[in-house]
Structure 1
């Protein structure tokens, strides 16, 4: 007799059977298998990346009994896969749980996963906290691949450059990936190598504000209010055919504040000005409490102030492995024709 916990895991897997078949046909072996906030265990997620199952808890740790039950279920369903559990319920989402020596080897093993025929480097644990590929953005990467052929692409807050790699794989003419973290860009370069890409991709280690202000033509001074700013790369003004703006919820640096709740326009204006007339800007907002229509209204007002028009817009919805109760996913993706 199965327990209610196993029943929930099984029901989620069954609900994805048609989606998983389609994804496998598209050369995708990376997807969410359990989305606990909707499927019965708030704060628990189970993601597949190739032959890795990454289990993460964000609200409270799994009990030893729950973890054993989960491992038993997935070992039966996916024999031979490694299952790594990261308890991220501590402050700042730091991973709290220890692993056995054998599990540690598996957790730090470099792996590969595929999405839409693109290969990505994956590790269950590394120096950071987040997975190297956010699966809810698959719908966004899918659309980027449909849009990118022959175009110049600016990928902002690139992290491990998943969007940029997808764009280059789809035939983009030039892709510029901007991120402040050298370690993330190094993973992006490894992703490029795995996909036999190279000449179309550029990696800019920079605060996004400093890069955007230069690309947009607004300019980034080196001294502000008498204080010299940290070094940043000098970039020429450039407008791109396709700009992807995928910022974190909140971050603060000497160059500016990223605040998706209170001041999205601080990023949106220079990103819009760095988008060519007739180009496309894809924006994300991952704050669940932000109303989708309110956010879009904010983007329209910001565009008007910047003297640019949003000619058309389209919502891109995360795919079916990220179900919602009300049809309003926390991750909002807006494609804007400008």
Structure 2
């Protein structure tokens, strides 16, 4: 039996207890194979409701291997999942079109529904962006938000498709504000809200992070290297009971640079100031080369310098379908009590 088949079988065996728990809690979106830790670096297999999303990041997956993976997963799960394969090994590439097997069927590319923590999410195998519409490794953090947001005002920063905001609304938050630079991301967030009509309405702000969070924190908005500032929404200073900060690894705009390796403090400082006294800030760092202990110390020092020392700091591990044999997963999440 080929090595990939054996690795997939071992991964599915290890997940059996977890899958039972996930299905019982109303979740059908999860990682079935985490190649970097389970025997095939650069390969991931994710279930999104009725869809199986296979992605390769180092080299294209051969036809026979792709079909074999699809068949093995359908047999193990007792399902007939729609296959979508995205090859992201080449520059700017997502799909290898040289063979018809790489081209998903029209049914597989239809808009679908996935569920997590009993909530509905939009699933699209192909869309204008590169990444899936729901980051699965953040499931535990979304679950924590759902369980701890009752009666809270919640600010969801770098909201992407607003899964954290949706969980806050489902958890009984009295107010949910989602902030993201990309209108396309917020459009999916609005769609996710509409897919859960029993939940209260969320708010959406399309803005660059820096002018928005600095206004909320009552700090001046400055341009980078004296550039003329583009237009941005005007916001009044205010604080929130619960703030969620999940920035990308790197991004640049006229207002500043997001750099999780060299300058996390510029993101963290205003987020702390926008968190109410006695409130909670949940912050993430998904850069693999950043050690948890070093980042945690950096976060603690930043809070202390602002005169907002932490009452408590808790590490929230990623979901169990994202194993890490060295106990150093790329995604690191801290729950900070201010």
- Which TM-score bucket, shorter chain as reference? over 0.9
- The DSSP-based 3-state class of the residue aligned with 1:91 is coil
Partner of 1:116: 117
Structure 1 distance, partners of 2:212, 2:192, is: 23
Would the aligned equivalents of 1:175 and 1:202 in 2 still touch at CA under 8 Å? Answer: yes
Partner of 1:87: 87
Deviations 1:144-170 (A, max 9, x none): 111111100000000000100111111
How far residue 62 of structure 1 moved from its aligned partner, in angstroms, is 0.9
Structure 2 distance, partners of 1:75, 1:294, is: 42
Partner of 1:253: 253
Structure 1 distance, partners of 2:256, 2:107, is: 39
Deviations 1:217-239 (A, max 9, x none): 11325x77764311111111110
Would the aligned equivalents of 1:172 and 1:200 in 2 still touch at CA under 8 Å? Answer: no
Structure 2 distance, partners of 1:188, 1:64, is: 35
TM-score by length of 1: 0.95
Say whether 1:10 aligns with 2:9: yes
Partner of 1:220: 221
Aligned residues: 335
Would the aligned equivalents of 1:90 and 1:96 in 2 still touch at CA under 8 Å? Answer: no
Would the aligned equivalents of 1:169 and 1:195 in 2 still touch at CA under 8 Å? Answer: no
- The DSSP-based 3-state class of the residue aligned with 1:16 is helix
How far residue 68 of structure 1 moved from its aligned partner, in angstroms, is 2.5
Partner of 2:30: 31
Gaps of 5+ in 1: none
Moved more, 63-72 or 311-320: 63-72
Partner of 1:190: 191
RMSD of Structure 2 on Structure 1 (CA): 1.7
Alignment map for 1:1-338 (pairs within 5 Å): 2-77=1-76, 78-91=78-91, 94-98=93-97, 100=100, 103-196=104-197, 199-220=200-221, 227-338=227-338
Structure 2 distance, partners of 1:61, 1:242, is: 42
How far residue 100 of structure 1 moved from its aligned partner, in angstroms, is 4.3
How far residue 197 of structure 1 moved from its aligned partner, in angstroms, is 5.3
Structure 2 distance, partners of 1:163, 1:243, is: 10
Deviations 1:260-309 (A, max 9, x none): 00000000000000000000000000011101010011111111222211
Gaps of 5+ in 2: none
How far residue 79 of structure 1 moved from its aligned partner, in angstroms, is 3.6
Query: Quick one: structure 1 residues 226 and 45, their matched pair in 2 at CA, closer, same or farther if it must change by over 3 Å?
Result: closer
How far residue 66 of structure 1 moved from its aligned partner, in angstroms, is 1.7
